A = this chain, B = another copy of it.
Amino acid sequence: MSVTFAQGFSAAGVEAGISATPGKKDVALVVNEGPLTAAAGVFTTNRFCAAPVQWSRKAVADGSLKAVILNSGGANACTGKAGYAQSVATAHEVAGLLGTEDGEVAVCSTGLIGELLPLDKVLDGAARAFAALEPTMAAGEDASHAIMTTDTKPKTVTRMGSNGFRVGGMVKGSGMIAPQLATMLCVITTDAVVSAGQLQAALGAAVDTSFNRIDVDGCMSTNDTVLLLASGASGIEPDPDEFNDLIANCCASLARQIIGDGEGASHDIRITVAGATSEDAALACGRAIAASNLLKCAISGNDPNWGRIVSSLGTVPADVAPYDPDEVTVDVNGVRICDGGKPGHDRSEVDMTPRQIDIDVDLHAGTSAATVWTDDLTHEYVHINADYES
């Protein structure tokens, strides 16, 4: 499935020896066979953005991409001019193979920050990925495996529009997931007949309510890239609203899968803040709760510790989210354990055995709501990030 579900796309995932893990596929190639080459991108806002981000941001600026090459095993971030030259050389290699311009090729990298890539291996991997290109489901799966790092499973999505156009996508991301474009690397493809402008509008809105609303560890990556490519191969013009909804739906699914595979996580935590004076106010409250290490530890210990929920909520300034602490209610998995800022039902009544923990906060100050997702904080998260050099 993945990026080859939509017509007009071929893909490959090959082993190029970049990753330190023997046998690990580490180069993916996604090629848009057309007839359209419309494209849109959203990138990290980190000021230390990686060389491939600097390159790809320029490459997609004209609304057109023929291909995306992605590697795991190295982020090529904080590598200066030499690193930028590597991204350019990689795009140049793929463009030569495809017979197109360098600027038609986006480059994505993920892995350790602060080291140059083994360029020979990357270029060799590009050539082998080109030779392996296929429009099959299996090739799409290979690509989704090749971009994994600490991910324990590939993350893909497919959706079909009511009049038959298709959307497919893949994402990698498990740690260094902050609420600003929390994704690492994502490629979504569609065979719908749409313009680059439509793609950018759909992607921007979709990212805002998906990748921008999940938080594994509050750490923003240097390499985050989300690309949306349209081949037009279906010949179908989608209803604009349906198209936007479908892209948002794909991003939401992929974001949810990132949370489900968060580093070391034993619980996925959905936090919905309702009764806010505005969506921004609800979002600020949700993010404050999602960022609490203390709460995330408590959840990993199956403790529905509402004191850690309200103490985080209490850090949001009153001008950002007006509410009266004495009116706030908190439900965990359907049990109201904080009622009007005071103890409600006993916390022992909450069933904490499900993987998904639902935290519902009502501020009783308005009619707006927002949902954010995070993971619990476990021994395994510390283990992964104390021992993995990423």
Contact = CB atoms under 8 A, between A and B. Distances in A.
Given A175-B294, A342-B79, A220 B311 contact: yes
A153 to B, nearest CB: 21
Interface in A320-350: 325-326, 338, 340-343
Given A79-B343, A80-B326, A382-B377, A310 B48 contact: yes
Interface string A286-323: 00000111100110110101111011111110100000
B379 A325 contact: no
Nearest to A266: B386
A124 to B, nearest CB: 24
Interface in A93-133: 112-115
A222 B389 CA distance: 36
A6 to B, nearest CB: 33
Contacts of A300: 382, 386
Interface string A39-77: 000000111110000000000000000000000000101
A113 B313 CA distance: 14
Interface string A350-390: 00000000000000000000000000011101111111011
A248 interface: no
A62 to B, nearest CB: 26
A76 to B, nearest CB: 11
Interface in A204-243: 217-222
B47 A218 contact: no
Interface string A18-39: 0000000000000000000000
Contacts of A176: 294, 311
Contacts of A178: 315
A193 interface: no
Interface in A119-177: 175-176
B386 A301 contact: yes
Nearest to A46: B314
A305 B48 contact: no
A115 B347 CA distance: 11
A343 B294 contact: no
Given A303-B386, A318-B47, A294 B219 contact: yes
A78 interface: yes
Contacts of A301: 385-387
Contacts of A77: 307, 311
Q: Which one of A49, A315, A340 has the greatest number of beta carbons of chain B within 10 Å?
A: A315
Nearest to A377: B382
A385 B297 contact: yes
A182 to B, nearest CB: 12
Given A292-B219, A293-B218, A298 B47 contact: no
Given A80-B341, A115-B343, A343-B79, A385 B307 contact: no
Nearest to A113: B307
B379 A382 contact: yes
In this complex, which of A45, A46, A311, A387 has the most chain B Cβ atoms within 10 angstroms of its Cβ?
A311
A4 to B, nearest CB: 32
A-B complex: 7 closest residue pairs judged by Cβ atoms: A113-B307, A301-B386, A297-B385, A48-B314, A80-B342, A46-B314, A47-B314
13 contacts: A48-B341, A77-B307, A77-B311, A78-B338, A78-B342, A113-B305, A176-B294, A218-B291, A219-B311, A294-B385, A297-B385, A378-B382, A378-B386
